[in-house]
Structure 1
Amino acid sequence: MSSKEKLLEVKNLKQHFKTGRHSTVKAVDGVSFDIYKGETFGLVGESGCGKSTTGRTIIRLYDATDGDVKFKGKDVHGKKSKTNLKEFNRKMQMIFQDPYASLNPRMTVKDIISEGLDIHGLVSTDKERTDRVHNLLETVGLNKEHANRYPHEFSGGQRQRIGIARALAVEPEFIIADEPISALDVSIQAQVVNLMKDLQKQHELTYLFIAHDLSMVKYISDRIAVMYFGKIVELADSDELYRNPLHPYTKSLLSAIPLPDPDYERNRTRIVYDPSKHDTSEEPEFREIRPNHWVLCTTKELEAYKQEINN
């Protein structure tokens, strides 16, 4: 992490969807966290836990039901002038999960990448536009000959690189990567993650990295928040979360990670999370168990977690 300057502040964020006259899905239900400039903040959980909805609400693809999101100290969901909204859209970009669906099949790669350049008036001539596209393609490991091709001519990994180039084109400060590798072959996933790490150093980027694969999130993230049914249940530094997981759901996710060790795999015990075993005597709160290690728990569970750490 390069600094302790808060770039993004999320407080009590809620995103509820009405699914009928009398029913509501609480996709995101009171989520709070900060992201510091220069870090990668991992948000993990199983499908349907609300992590992608959290990312899409932060970037204003959805209007928040309640709560506050501040980017560089300014309210994200408040009313904005066209100029302010345009500047916000430039500083915060998104890389989507599906590289097949997120690229317009009727547009050339050059037009896809330069769309943001045109909207924000970042180039003044066609030559400058072409040069910027060629530079961006080389930055993400492609070459300038790819500029005049169409998305269907590329592999999944190459399409995701095009998506990354499109996000980088407007020189953002913050990128939300919504499961950017889940649709890719395992052999390609590491390449894309390594590319993102290199780009982070070169361009001083800050990431919100959303995924369900805890092992890959550990590799790229400085801190990790674990999400379950619309709530963050544990948040800690990446190494700390792996060494000392406390919430039973986090332990369940970690127990599912395979290792390339036959002896370990033969004896690996999968922990099954049972939410019914939680203390129900009071409403759980997000509490700091040890420095920078937070868990959603009741007072009774807090004492049990502290005892577990001391043992």
Structure 2
Amino acid sequence: MTANYNAEPLLKVENLKQHFKVSNNYTVKAVEGVSFEIYPGETYGLVGESGSGKSTIGRSVIRLYNPTDGKITFNDTDITGHLSRSDKTMLRTQMQMIFQDPMSSLNPRKKVEDIIGEGLDIHHTYSSKAERDEKIKEILAKVGLAPEHASRYPHQFSGGQRQRVGIARALIMNPKLIIADECISALDVSIQAQVVNLMKDIQAETGAAYLFIAHDLSMVKYISDRIGVLHLGHLLETGTTEEIFSNPIHPYTKSLLSAIPEPNPVVEKNRVALTYDYKTSGINYNEGTEHLVGGTHYVKCTDAEFEKWSK
């Protein structure tokens, strides 16, 4: 299934702010005024360096954090403030998360069948134990695991298999949106490809949308329909994968793309990585507005900066 851009956005994030008060005198402003949309069946890649606020956005969207300010609309429902019981049920069934570390996110004392079936147990979505077992067996097969794996514990699996268990746990509720929070960064490169291909196959089959959080740009390019570039809690540039990679506008985006290694040793030898330092750049992220470059390509900057960077 391809993204349906004619439909209403499945997820709409408007001016999201997430601040953490450390002391009376200091507050960490992890996310500052971020806005984006995700459409049904779409993969939206969120990229940026460590500490830029990517995971915080994911956790705020799924309401593991209470947003400081802004508005989050999911499935035509405002999920920003206090949630009613029906809204909580909708959110917990229709939105799921795949966490970064497949070991620490799985309960070591539970068997895989109970880890995967926990959502079914909580929301009572089966009529008998046989139906529950059948659903677990089906989802294990879908992520490439055998039925006998259901009776094993997380420590009996490899890293790639554990991440498949995490994917199965997210998929069993048949969600409309899956937040993949750096879900491949702890895996070997060959296993990363397997997991990402699995996610693409599942998306084609189920029509789920992904918020794919990562710092591996080559993988983001492979899986994403649109990309948002995040730095210091600000969304600097957003557009389709082709627009971002073929025509980066913001200096930070250019520096990120220039750091991607080339598989061709001749080209790699001559590759020049651009440097970018926010403190000495003279750019103020709190100033400026979104400028349309073409199609769905937006850059947040002042008019003068946009005129300078667009040349």
The interval holding the TM-score normalised by the smaller chain is over 0.9
**Identity rate of aligned residues, in percent?**
57
Residue 286 of structure 1 and its aligned partner are, at CA, apart by 2.0
1:305 aligns with: 309
Mapped pair 1:44 → 2:47? yes
> Which string of whole-angstrom CA distances, capped at 9 and with x for unpartnered residues, describes residues 127-147 of structure 1?
111111111100000010100
Distance change >3 Å, CA 281–CA 65, structure 1 → 2: closer
Question: Letter of the aligned partner of 2:20 in structure 1?
Answer: F
Residue 281 of structure 1 and its aligned partner are, at CA, apart by 12
TM value normalised by structure 2: 0.96
Question: Letter of the aligned partner of 1:273 in structure 2?
Answer: Y
1:1-311 alignment runs, 5 A limit: 1-4=2-5, 5=7, 6-275=9-278, 276-279=280-283, 283-306=287-310, 308=311
Distance 1:100 1:234 in 2: 33
User: For the aligned residues, what is the CA RMSD?
Assistant: 1.3
Residue 279 of structure 1 and its aligned partner are, at CA, apart by 4.8
8 A Cα contact 1:103 1:151, kept in partner = yes
> Which string of whole-angstrom CA distances, capped at 9 and with x for unpartnered residues, describes residues 194-240 of structure 1?
00000001111000000011110010000000000000111010011
Question: Letter of the aligned partner of 2:133 in structure 1?
Answer: T
Question: Letter of the aligned partner of 2:296 in structure 1?
Answer: N
Distance 1:277 1:48 in 2: 19
Question: Letter of the aligned partner of 2:4 in structure 1?
Answer: S
What secondary structure, in the 3-state scheme, does the structure 2 residue paired with 1:181 have? coil
Residue 67 of structure 1 and its aligned partner are, at CA, apart by 0.2
Distance 1:119 1:126 in 2: 14
TM value normalised by structure 1: 0.96
Distance 1:219 1:33 in 2: 20
Question: Letter of the aligned partner of 1:248 in structure 2?
Answer: P
8 A Cα contact 2:289 2:302, kept in partner = yes
Distance 1:84 1:274 in 2: 43
Alignment gaps of 5+ in structure 2: none
Residue 278 of structure 1 and its aligned partner are, at CA, apart by 3.5
Distance 1:93 1:36 in 2: 16
Alignment gaps of 5+ in structure 1: none
8 A Cα contact 2:41 2:207, kept in partner = yes
